[in-house]
């Protein structure tokens, strides 16, 4: 069992010189010392402890590959790649500590960091890194997810199902958590009761299917009462048709257009308060035609490129 830091891979992709200087793809925007950055968390330990389908360790590489050939928007922003934190075996806690420290350091140099997971155990490290960088800030957590991930750690420790319970244990008085897109069938009554006791905000998948704007009011209120916003996207919030390559595919899921709307709304509403986001649970071994990686890359592109 070990934890290592690896350097960023070389980004490569399609080149279209015949179309002139505006024919730019994301792999051409990777540069040191940019305002935006990505970092990977290559880890299977949290999903394995949570009895899910392992393979999230390969998520960062698949997401980079899917991002590389996406076209750059007008007035595109350059971004940096800070490499990966790689967890071998069950060294989850050491990996989370390493990632948290890397995030805290990165946020002193970059105005927005996007973490490429890894399972949802990534969230515990992401939050700790943001808290290290802004120790006195009020931090609002927005989780787009089919699952509440409020399980209590068991004998094996934390997992991909426990990050928000672990975050609350760090500082119960400042715990401010909104879960958007949860599925009733995917969460036990024990988790719903815990959410109620802890004042967790909830928006159902059914509500978002009938009204894509159903979460906007709750999101606005979360942003308004906090100094910093941490956005975490579990790709299994989407339907299995859109995201088959995840640890726990959703039979129903929230439409991609709705999730894109929410991400755009958060970016516009939060502005520079959105310092940190992550995308988790991509499991390439089960990702037919790479559709899940391509879907996650759309969301990552928006987070990296949007002002």
For the chain, percent of residues with pLDDT exceeding 70: 100
Average the pLDDT over 51-74 and give the result: 96
Q: Are strands 201-204 and 2-6 parallel, antiparallel or unpaired?
A: unpaired
For the chain, percent of residues with pLDDT exceeding 90: 96
CB 71 within 8 A of CB 27: no
| pLDDT tens string 15-48 | 999 999 899 999 999 999 999 999 999 999 999 9
Average the pLDDT over 85-104 and give the result: 97
Q: Are strands 177-182 and 201-204 parallel, antiparallel or unpaired?
A: parallel
Number of domains in the chain: 1
Query: How far are the Cα atoms of 137, 147, 165 from residue 150, in angstroms, in the given order?
Result: 23, 8, 5
User: For residue 1, what pLDDT is reported?
Assistant: 83
Residue 210, pLDDT > 90, answer: yes
Residue 298, domain CATH: 3.40.800.10
User: For residue 88, what pLDDT is reported?
Assistant: 96
* pTM (whole model) above 0.85: yes
**For residue 39, cis peptide bond before it (omega within 30 degrees of 0):** no
Q: Residue 294 sits in which domain range? A: 2-305
Q: What does the block give as tokens for 185?
A: 């069938």
Q: Residues near 50 by Cβ (< 8 Å), separated by ≥ 6?
A: 119, 151, 159, 160, 161, 162, 247
| pLDDT tens string 247-280 | 989 899 999 999 999 999 999 999 999 999 999 9
Residue 307, pLDDT > 80, answer: no
Neighbours of 295 (CB within 10 A): 23
Model confidence at 196, pLDDT cuts 50, 70, 90, reads: very high
Residue 212, pLDDT > 80, answer: yes
Model confidence at 133, pLDDT cuts 50, 70, 90, reads: very high
Q: Are strands 2-6 and 79-88 parallel, antiparallel or unpaired?
A: antiparallel
Model confidence at 54, pLDDT cuts 50, 70, 90, reads: very high
**Beta-sheet strand order (sheet of 112-117):** 2-6, 79-88, 36-42, 112-117, 274-280, 228-234, 139-144, 177-182, 201-204
Can you give the three-state secondary structure of the chain, one letter per residue?
A: CEEEEECCCCCCCCCCHHHCCCCCEHHHHECCCCCEEEEEEECCHHHHHCCCCCCHHHHHHHHHHHHHCCECCCCCCCEEEEEEEEEECCCHHHHHHHHHHHHHHHCCCCCEEEEEECCCCHHHHHHHHHHHHCCCCCEEEEEECCCCCCCCCECCECCCCCHHHHHHHHCHHHCCEEEEEECHHHCCHHHHHHHHHCCCEEEEHHHHHHCCCCCHHHHHHHHHCCCEEEEEEEHHHEECCCCCCECCCECCCECHHHHHHHHHHHHHHHHHHEEEEEEECECHHHCHHHHHHHHHHHHHHHHHHCC
Q: Give the residues across from 115 on adjacent strands.
A: 39, 278
User: For residue 275, what pLDDT is reported?
Assistant: 96
């Amino acid at each position: 069992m070990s934890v290592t830091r690896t350097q960023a891979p070389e980004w490569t992709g399609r080149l279209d010189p015949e179309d002139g200087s505006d024919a730019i793809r994301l792999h051409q925007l990777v540069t040191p010392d940019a305002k935006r950055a990505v970092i990977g968390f290559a880890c299977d330990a949290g999903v394995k402890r949570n009895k899910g389908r392992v393979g999230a360790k390969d998520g960062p590489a698949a997401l980079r590959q899917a991002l590389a050939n996406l076209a750059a928007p007008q007035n595109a922003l350059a971004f940096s790649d800070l490499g990966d934190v790689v967890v071998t075996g069950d060294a989850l806690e050491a990996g989370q500590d390493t990632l948290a420290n890397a995030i805290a350091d990165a946020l002193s140099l970059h105005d927005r960091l996007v973490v490429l997971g890894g399972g949802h155990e990534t969230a515990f490290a992401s939050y700790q890194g943001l808290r290290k960088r802004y120790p006195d800030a009020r931090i609002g957590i927005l989780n787009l997810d089919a699952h509440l991930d409020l399980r209590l750690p068991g004998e094996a420790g934390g997992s991909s199902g426990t990050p928000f319970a672990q975050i609350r244990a760090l500082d119960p008085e400042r715990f401010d958590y909104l879960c958007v897109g949860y599925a009733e069938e995917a969460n036990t009554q024990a988790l719903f009761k815990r959410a109620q006791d802890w004042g967790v905000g909830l928006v159902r998948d059914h509500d978002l299917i009938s009204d894509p704007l159903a979460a906007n009011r709750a999101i606005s209120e979360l942003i308004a009462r906090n100094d910093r916003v941490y956005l975490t996207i579990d790709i299994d919030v989407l339907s299995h048709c859109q995201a088959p390559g995840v640890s726990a595919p959703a039979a129903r899921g929230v439409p991609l257009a709705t999730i894109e709307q929410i991400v755009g709304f958060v970016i516009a509403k939060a502005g520079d308060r959105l310092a940190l986001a992550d995308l988790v649970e991509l499991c390439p071994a089960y990702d037919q035609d790479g559709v899940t990686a391509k879907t996650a890359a759309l969301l990552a592109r928006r987070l990296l490129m949007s002002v």
